[in-house]
A and B are shown apart, each in its own frame.
Chain A
């Protein structure tokens, strides 16, 4: 990874602030519109729910591996998990999701602050990457929210500017 942990923590904070500003700026009309036509066919609200859900589940995964655990089980089905968990958490309102995102990002930040190079070198089973090092998992974690935000920006384009 072309960075160190301090830079990553800084990026986590600034990216979080940018993400929150982005979601707060979205026009009301798009929140229930479908974003993806493949796979889970999520709406914008469900994408936010997914982001918040992942923030929580990755906290548990990283904690587990940092403590010497093996990560998720070998039969873990990430697509089924995403479908089920996003459906559950989507019942929360937008404001509840944004508030939960804030709480979870703070917890994640506190967890990662305690990570040493030795911890970052630990390996475990990641639902998407398979057997991999924590350092590699953090890189993908860092990209995840921005990937979905780019999809929203790409899909709705000019409608985001008109408000």
Chain B
């Protein structure tokens, strides 16, 4: 089974740089059904980001450097509950990863990486979501 199919409902979309432009998401991609928030994150060695959303789907991509994204299915009623997937995302071979709500995501890197994170819902401290920059 391909890594991108191990967790039910996650998806890895191949992207490509055209000249100096990287298109990450189009409205007809059927990945995110609404818009909530977009962030650019800069992660350096030894630091990581941990995200677990209760209602928001997210799309992650690396635009500079290389990052590791670890996904864990925490949805009790999911057929892939408990499944763990680790993906390496790199600027040279860009991909966007759909992280459905209920799937925990930890992003880290060995050197330095810039990432784009697009969510269906804005971050909300009252939501019970876990969003930690460590």
Query: Chain A interface (Cβ within 8 Å of chain B)?
Result: 1-3, 7, 10-11, 14-15, 18, 128-129, 139-140, 143-144, 146-147, 149-151, 153-154, 157, 161
**Given A1-B14, A2-B95, A7-B1, A140:B29 Cβ within 8 A:** yes
Bound complex: CA A9 to CA B2 (Å):
13
**Chain B contact residues: helix, strand, loop or mixed:** loop
| Closest Cβ neighbor of A149 among chain B residues | B9
B79 touches A18 (CB 8 A): yes
Query: Chain B interface (Cβ within 8 Å of chain A)?
Result: 1-2, 4-5, 8-9, 11-14, 28-31, 33, 55, 57, 77, 79, 95, 100-101
Q: Chain B residues with Cβ under 8 A from A2's Cβ? A: 2, 4, 12-14, 95
Bound complex: CA A153 to CA B56 (Å):
11
Q: Chain B residues with Cβ under 8 A from A143's Cβ? A: 11, 29-31
Bound complex: CA A146 to CA B55 (Å):
15
A129 touches B28 (CB 8 A): yes
> Other than the known A2-B12, A153-B101, what 12 A-B pairs have Cβ atoms closer than 8 Å?
A1-B14, A2-B95, A3-B4, A10-B1, A11-B5, A18-B79, A143-B30, A147-B30, A150-B33, A150-B100, A151-B33, A161-B77
